[in-house]
Chain A
C-alpha cells in the first residue's frame, strides 16, 4: 500500500563546506525534488560543529546520507553522484514504480 503522505527523513552528515559535501547536498536535493516532492525532510549535520553526533549514527565516512525514516536505516556514503544507486539505496524506486 502506497500512501501519498509517506515521509522520508534524511540526514546528511558533512564536515565543513567541502566540495564533496556541497555536491552531495546538491545531488540529494535534486533527487528529492524529482521523486519525493513534498514528502521529505533533509537535515544537514556539520560534524565540525557537532562532533559528538558522529557516534550515534555510526558515521566514519563523509559525506554520509542516512535514511532515518522509513526504516530500516540505510546509509549511503559518497557525493551521491550516481543517481541510480542513491534511489535504490533510499528505496525510492519501487515506490515510484507503483
Chain B
C-alpha cells in the first residue's frame, strides 16, 4: 500500500505540524475570519513552491487585483513580478461584479475551468490557489449550479494532479460561510485571529487531515517580514541529549557553590528573588560570561530596555557593549502586554532559530503573568524550556517572588534543573542579600547561605560569617572582618577603607567568634 504523498508548503513550522506538508495532488481548504492571513498563507505556499521546490504555481485571486496583491506581498519579500517573468508563477484576477452581470437560464463555470487550465498548462503548474472561491457565491445567484460546479471543480483539480489550496471565509457555526468544507475532505486548516484581554494572537489548527497523523493543537503563528512562521512547540517528550559540559556563571564564587565548575550546558537555571535582589545582575553576568567564551546569547528583557540594562550593568562594572557590537549579545526587549503569551513564545522561538545562541536569558518570567493565567504561563514556559533544551541551549530564567507568592516558583521549579534563590535579610536596620542554591540537579552543591554583594566592582558571594548570634551580614559582617583584620597588620589601612566606603557607622557588637574567610575586596551595601 502506498502512503499518502505530501507536498511541502515551505511555510516554517506548518510542514512539521502536518508531518510533511499538505496532501499532494489534492485540495486543501484554508479557512478563517477576515484578516486572519489566508491569502498570505496561500501565497506563501505558491511562492515557496516556486522558489524552493521548483514547482510553478497559479494563483487565482477573486478578491484582490493582481497589482494590489503584488504590492501587498512585496512587504514580505515576495517578488511576484520576477517570478511571473521567470514563468514560475501566474496570477489571474477573476472579477465578479453582480451589478455587471445578468443571469438567465442554464450556465456552467467552464470559463473558469478554461482559464485555470490555460494558466496551469502555460507554466506547467504543480500548485494552485483559489483565493477565495466563495466570492462566486456573492456574485452569482444560482446556488444549485454553483454547488454542482464547485464539486466538479474540486474533482477536476484532483484529476489534474495539482496540489491546491482553496480559501474560505469563516461562517457562523461553520468552517466556511458557504460550506466549502463539504467539497474539500482531505485537509482543512483553520486560521484564527483572536483577541483575549486586548491582546491578539494568530493561531492555526489542522482541523482535519484524512489519512495522516497531524498535530491537533492550536499553534500560534507569526506574520512578519519573512512571511508566516507556525510554531509547533509542543513536544513534551522527555528525550533529549544531555551534556556533561559545565559552563561558568561568570561569578566564580557562585560556580563554587555548585562544585566549582558552574552549571551544565543545556540546563535551565531559575534565579528567583524579591524585588531588587540582583536577579538581573546575576543573569547579566551569565550573559557576559557566555559572550566572553565567544558564544552567542540572547537576552529577553520584559522589564527594561537594552539601554537601561547596559547602563545599569555598567554601574556594577559589567560592560556589555563590546559584546553587542561583536554580535554575540542580542537584546530583545518587549513589554509583556505588547502581545499575547503565544506570540512571545513565537517570537522567542523565531529569534532563537535565527541567532542560534548557546545561552538564553529571560528576565523576568513573572512579568508574563500580567498577560496570561498562571497555568498558561507555566505551560508556555514548559514548552519554551523544552524547546531550548532540545537545542542544547542553556536558559536562565529570573522570577520575582514576593509578588507571586512563590506560586510560579512551584510550577517552574520542577521544570528547571537548577534554582538559585536570592533573599533579603533584614537586621539591624539594614537590608542585605543572601543567596543559596535551592536545587541543582546532578551536581554537588553547597548547602550554605552566602551573602550576596553587589558593588561597582561587580557581584560577589561572600561566605557567611557566623557571629555569636548566628549569621552576620552587611555592616555587621564588615565590622566582624575589620575586627579580624585588626588582628593582622594593616588595621589602619582597612579602617580607612571602611570609613570611606560606609556612610553610616554600624554598631559593633564585638562578638569574638570570627568568620573564617578573609576576603580582600569585600564591601557592604551596593552602590
- Which of A's residues lie within 8 Å of B, judged by CB? 13, 15, 18, 20, 23-24, 47-48, 51-52, 54-55, 58-64, 73-82, 85-86, 88-89
Contact = CB atoms under 8 A, between A and B. Distances in A.
Given A47-B110, A54-B115, A54-B118, A60 B105 contact: no
Given A58-B94, A59-B115, A73-B100, A15 B105 contact: no
A60 B95 CA distance: 9
Contact of B105 (A47, A74, A82): A82
Contact of B110 (A15, A52, A73, A82): A15
B123 to A, nearest CB: 13
A20 B115 contact: no
A81 B106 contact: yes
B65 to A, nearest CB: 11
Given A60-B109, A60-B112, A78 B117 contact: no
A76 B115 contact: no
Contacts of A80: 104-105
- Interface bin, chain B: 20 to 34
A62 B108 contact: yes
A61 B95 contact: no
A79 B105 contact: yes
Interface string B109-144: 111101101100000000000000000100010000
Contact of A74 (B100, B112, B115, B136): B100
Given A15-B111, A52-B118, A55-B115, A60 B103 contact: no
Nearest to A52: B118
A85 B140 contact: no
B18 to A, nearest CB: 31
B132 to A, nearest CB: 14
Contacts, number: 95
Most-contacted residue by chain A among B94, B103, B104 (CB, 10 A) = B104
Given A60-B136, A61-B110, 9 more contacts: A15-B110, A58-B95, A60-B111, A63-B107, A64-B107, A77-B102, A78-B106, A80-B104, A82-B104
A89 B111 contact: no
B92 interface: yes
Nearest to A15: B110
A20 B114 contact: no
A74 B101 CA distance: 7
B184 to A, nearest CB: 20
Nearest to B96: A60
B112 to A, nearest CB: 4
Contacts of B94: 58, 60
Contact of B108 (A58, A61, A73, A82): A61
Given A54-B115, A55-B92, A62 B106 contact: no
A62 B100 contact: no
A48 B114 CA distance: 7
Contact of A54 (B103, B105, B114, B140): B114
B154 to A, nearest CB: 16
Given A58-B95, A60-B94, A13 B104 contact: no
B100 A13 contact: no
Contacts of A82: 104-105
Most-contacted residue by chain B among A54, A60, A62, A88 (CB, 10 A) = A60
B239 to A, nearest CB: 53
Interface string B126-170: 000000000010001000000000000000000000000000000
A20 B106 contact: yes
Contacts of A74: 100, 102
A78 B105 contact: yes
Contact of A77 (B101, B115, B118): B101
Contacts of A88: 102
B104 A47 contact: no
B111 A79 contact: no
24 contacts: A15-B110, A15-B111, A15-B114, A47-B110, A54-B111, A54-B118, A58-B94, A59-B111, A59-B115, A60-B94, A60-B136, A61-B111, A61-B112, A74-B100, A75-B102, A77-B103, A78-B104, A78-B107, A79-B106, A80-B105, A81-B104, A81-B105, A82-B104, A88-B102
B114 A51 contact: yes
Contacts of B115: 51, 54-55, 59-60
A85 B107 CA distance: 15
Contacts of B95: 58
Nearest to A58: B95
Contacts of B105: 20, 23-24, 78-82
A16 B422 CA distance: 83
Contacts of B103: 76-78, 85
Given A76-B104, A88-B102, A64 B111 contact: yes
Interface in B163-180: none
Contact of A61 (B100, B109, B117, B118): B109
Nearest to A79: B105
Contacts of B114: 15, 47-48, 51, 54, 62
A51 B111 CA distance: 9
Most-contacted residue by chain A among B106, B108, B110, B115 (CB, 10 A) = B110
Nearest to A76: B102
A62 B101 contact: no
6 cross-chain pairs, A with B, having the tightest CB-CB distances, nearest first: A81-B105, A79-B105, A51-B118, A78-B105, A62-B110, A89-B102
Contact of B140 (A61, A62, A81): A61
Contacts of A81: 104-106
B59 to A, nearest CB: 14
B101 A75 contact: yes
A87 to B, nearest CB: 10
Nearest to B92: A55
